[in-house]
Amino acid sequence: MKKLDYVIVGNSTAAVGCIEGIRSVDKAGPVTVVSREPYPAYSRPLISYLLCGETTEEKMRMRPADFYEKNGVNALLGKRAVRVDPGRKAVLLDGGESIPFDRLLIATGSRPFVPPMSGLERVERKFSFLTLDDAKALGAALTPESRVLIVGAGLIGLKCAEGIRDRAGTITVVDLADRILPSILDPRGSAMVRRHIESRGIRFLLGDSVAEFEKDRAHLKSGKTVGFDVLVVAVGVRPNTDLAAGAGCAVGRGIAIDERSATSVPGIYAAGDCCECTDVSSGQRRILAILPNARLQGETAGVNMAGGEKSFANAVPMNAIGFFGLHVLTAGSYDGEAWVETAPGVYRKLVVRDNRLVGFILIGEIARAGIYTSLIRERTPLDSVDFELLKHKPQLMAFSAQRRAEKLGGAK
């Protein structure tokens, strides 16, 4: 029987999951990874910690240095895939090379979104903050006197601010929204995190936006002016779907995949930030650009590409982050009845709908939050657990003896 040729375009979390998924079924089929970045797979969320000196490039690697060799992977790093020919079953690279495949994973991730902004071309030192190269370039531009302007108060912009806080003179963050982290925090939680970040000397100008840039000055729509030496545009990201669309795959906001991580084109799979899937907390199809989903989607794709059987049908939006020592964990949907508990430095919000936990926000105290996440993923009826106990302190004692045994790896 002919060995299957596997090709993976992309080299981050989903790709690593796919390689391990393939090798769990097929130990010998050739695997080729194509990545436009020249680095072994690394954890992108760690780029802010690289800038502030809390990690190194070596420690950012997702797997040991011999990962590709041990798994029989031909890693074509620093190469760009420009087209997929599903008829010929080949991936064409920017240098003219053609890589044949029997099974293909598209794990192309996302790219920074830079909206049209008047005068942006006049700014000499402007940066994105998504890749290792972005972090290196930004770090090289900073001095202890740098005045940094960050456009965007979402996850990327705020992690950037944290990473460079001790390497710049001043940092100002501008965002059109009226609060920070508007996509994952409610007003109360957002205000708590904002106060904590402001206490570290970072300035926010919210409910405002840039009307026009000069070389070292931003004129805001409110009439305010902000001087800067370094500009970071962190407005958001867009999924890289062009390769999949060109191959005939169904594409909405992201590449459409099913529970097997398969696209609409036979033999082609997709995983990670470039995809859209069903969010079990809301029932809607969304892009869920978070590491756990990318890892599980990639592994699911790998197993199925190699002829095994695996599905991943309980994707949940989730964010585990921290800013200057303050931990924040969010998951699911906030559409439902909310229960809120606060204490100094602590905010806990649980959202319930139709006898199920559908979402939560935890700030400051996040121990055992995985219990809440499992309730959402498994769509556990709340009348089958001691939810009053779980509200105040997530613990296995709130479950029946049978469910405790199952969760601890005992009875099924």
**Tens place of pLDDT per residue across the chain (412 aa):** 578 999 999 999 999 999 999 999 999 999 999 999 999 999 999 999 999 999 999 999 999 999 999 999 999 999 999 999 999 999 999 989 999 999 999 999 999 999 999 999 999 999 999 999 999 999 999 999 999 999 999 999 999 999 999 999 999 999 999 999 999 999 999 999 999 999 999 999 999 999 999 999 999 999 999 999 999 999 999 999 999 999 999 999 999 999 999 999 999 999 999 999 988 888 889 898 888 899 999 999 999 999 999 999 888 899 999 999 999 999 999 999 999 999 999 999 999 999 999 999 999 988 888 889 889 988 989 988 888 888 877 765 555 555 655 555 544 4
**Is the domain defined by 120-234 classed in CATH 3.50.50.60?**
yes
Pull the structure tokens for residue 7. Answer: 């090709």
Judge whether 91 and 9 are in contact, CB under 8 Å.
Answer: yes
Residue 328 has a CB neighbour count (10 Å cut-off) of 23
Q: Which residues, 6 or more positions from 334, have their beta carbon under 8 angstroms from its beta carbon? A: 186, 349, 351, 359, 361
Cα(151)–Cα(210) distance, integer angstroms:
8
Write the CA distances from 280 to 270, 333, 357, integer angstroms. Answer: 19, 9, 11
Structural fold of domain 325-409: Enolase-like; domain 1 (3.30.390)
Phi, psi angle pair for 192, to nearest 5°: -65, -45
Nearest residue to 325 (alpha-carbon basis) of 301, 349, 345: 345
Angle at alpha carbon of residue 360, lines to 359 and 365, rounded to 5°: 160
Here the tokens at position 49 are 């910690």
Q: Specify the length of the chain in residues.
A: 412
Look-up of token digits 């300035």 = 203
What per-residue confidence (pLDDT) applies to 396? 55
- As a whole number of angstroms, the distance between CA 384 and CA 82 comes to 52
Domain(s) labelled CATH 3.30.390.30 in the chain stretch across 325-409
Buried-exposed string 197-216: b where 16+ CB fall within 10 A, e elsewhere: beeeebebbbebbbeebeeb
Rounded Cα–Cα distance for residues 401 and 385 (Å): 11
Place of tokens 């892009």: 287
Residue span(s) of the chain under CATH 3.50.50.60 come to 6-111+238-305, 120-234
pLDDT on residue 411: 44
What pLDDT is stored for residue 368 in this prediction?
A: 84
**Contact status, residue 313 vs residue 280, Cβ threshold 8 Å:** yes
Given a contact cutoff of 8 angstroms between Cβ atoms, the answer to whether 376 and 331 are in contact is yes
How high is the pLDDT of residue 412?
43
Exposure b/e, 378-391, CB count within 10 A at least 16 = b = eebebeebebeebb
- The greatest distance separating any two alpha carbons of the chain, rounded to the nearest whole angstrom, comes to 70
pTM equals: 0.92
Q: Which residue is it, tokens 């031909």?
A: 74
Beta-carbon contacts of residue 156 (< 8 Å; ≥ 6 apart): 129, 130, 234, 236, 237
Q: Which alpha helices (H) appear in 61-131, and where do they start and end?
A: 67-70
Residue 153 tokens read as: 């108060």
Q: Which CATH class is domain 6-111+238-305?
A: alpha beta
Dist CA 24 CA 28 (whole Å): 11
